[in-house]
Amino acid sequence: MNLQPQRLSLFSKLSVIAVLFLVVGTFFTVQLALKEQQGKIGAWYTNQAATAICSSDGARIGVSFTNTETNKTLAMRVVAKDVQTGTSVDLGDVDAQKTKTGTLITGKQKLGSNGVVFLLSWTNGMKGTDSRSAAYSAITCTQTAQPTPTPTGTTNESGSEVTGTFTVFLHSVGHSGDNTNPKLFSMSNQHPLHTTLTAQVQLFNPTDQLIREGTSTLTYNPENGNYTGTYGISPDVIPNDKFNVRIKVPYHLRILIPGIQSLPPGSHTMAFAPVAVVLGDADNNNALSILDYNMLLDCYSDLTPAASCTKAHKTATDFNDDGFVNQIDYNLFLRELATQHGD
């Protein structure tokens, strides 16, 4: 007489378990469907940053925006606006897996801690807008009248521009190796296609505030296997004759010239220490990342044609500057990854 109730109890338990499986299964099916739908319509996946710096015209805010959507049809229209001053910059269309940078010229000498709002909309006709934000730290850019210096023989003559000379070695070009073997250049390209390059130059005071920026034309010297160039320095903007120098060559990481620089007393020329720069910064954001790797893959053409490559991207990913984007450039990029960011 006890068997029948036991069987009913067991059947009831199995029924409950079956219902639970059905409910759980339905939940995960719905979640998967939602996730797939989200991937189709986009979820505003982004990375962004803002940094306040001092320049010759006051405080500026440098902004960077990366569209991290994986669906390549999901480009975003981006406008960056500073909350504190109301100034804005239109970054235009930012494709999926791409980065764009811009500069907000605030016209102010002093900024408090605040942030930049990135206003987003889709470029493919889809409805909807969104926004992102990035914070920056307070900054004060002092502008004090420079007293007329009295020549003493130990400082540079007042108002006399000093010419600084750069000597730059590009990894895998000329007499430079790479991160793994910096002095081994037997396999480096001795005849680069671009014999002149325009480098960005920045001068900083001893507290690392930007005091001047400009460009320098670097010219290739085949005999020495390096690039050389000059930059004009006004002593009137250098506090206490001391400053730091950073230089960035296109598609290479920015580098700090070793040591604190001193204006030479009574001289109109100075030579900076030679530097070797790391290649691989295809998107010129001063970092080696998956974005550079993806650009390299798009232009890679060893045995088969490139998947999707523009002329500008080919130049950016031809790291040894020989006219081809192939296994050599791929291996060079991997060997350079030991250095992730520029100075």
**More confident of the two residues 141 and 12:** 141
pLDDT of residue 215: 93
Please enumerate in sequence order all residues whose Cβ is within 8 A of that of 50, keeping only pairs 6 or more positions apart, or say none.
Answer: 61, 62, 63, 64, 80, 115, 116, 134, 135, 136
Topology, domain 46-140: Immunoglobulin-like (2.60.40)
pLDDT band at 342 (very low <50, low <70, confident <90, very high): low
Q: Above 50 in pLDDT, residue 289?
A: yes
Q: pLDDT digits over 35-91, tens only?
A: 444 444 567 889 898 888 888 778 889 888 899 888 988 999 999 999 898 889 999
Least confident of 226-235, 243-252, 287-296, 301-310: 301-310
Query: Residues of the chain with pLDDT > 90: what percent?
Result: 42
**More confident of the two residues 305 and 159:** 305
Q: Above 90 in pLDDT, residue 189?
A: yes
Three-state SS across the chain?
CCHHHHHHHHHHHHHHHHHHHHHHHHHHHHHHHHHHHHHHHCCCCEEEEEEEEEECCEEEEEEEEEECCCCCCCCEEEEEEECCCCCEEEEEEECCCEEEEEEEECCCCEECCEEEEEEEEECCCCCCEEEEEEEECCEECCCCCCCCCCCCCCCCCCCCCEEEEEEEEECCECCCCCCCCCCCCCCCECCCCCCEEEEEEEEECCCCCEEEEEEEEEEEECCCCEEEEEEEECHHHCHHHEEEEEEECCCECCEECCCCEECCCCCCEEECCCEEECECCCCCCCECCHHHHHHHHHHCCCCCCCCCCCHHHHHHHCCCCCCCCCHHHHHHHHHHCCCCECC
pLDDT of residue 331: 92
Q: pLDDT digits over 103-136, tens only?
A: 888 888 889 888 889 999 999 888 888 889 888 8
Q: Do domains 46-140 and 162-277 have the same CATH topology?
A: yes
Q: Above 90 in pLDDT, residue 282?
A: yes
pLDDT of residue 24: 43
Least confident of 32-41, 100-109, 213-222: 32-41
Topology, domain 162-277: Immunoglobulin-like (2.60.40)
pLDDT of residue 125: 82
Domain boundaries, the chain: 46-140, 162-277, 290-336
pLDDT of residue 307: 80
pLDDT of residue 7: 46
Q: Above 60 in pLDDT, residue 190?
A: yes
Give the separation between CA 189 and CA 246, rounded to whole angstroms: 25
Q: pLDDT digits over 150-164, tens only?
A: 443 334 544 578 899
What mean pLDDT is reported for the chain? 82
pLDDT of residue 159: 54
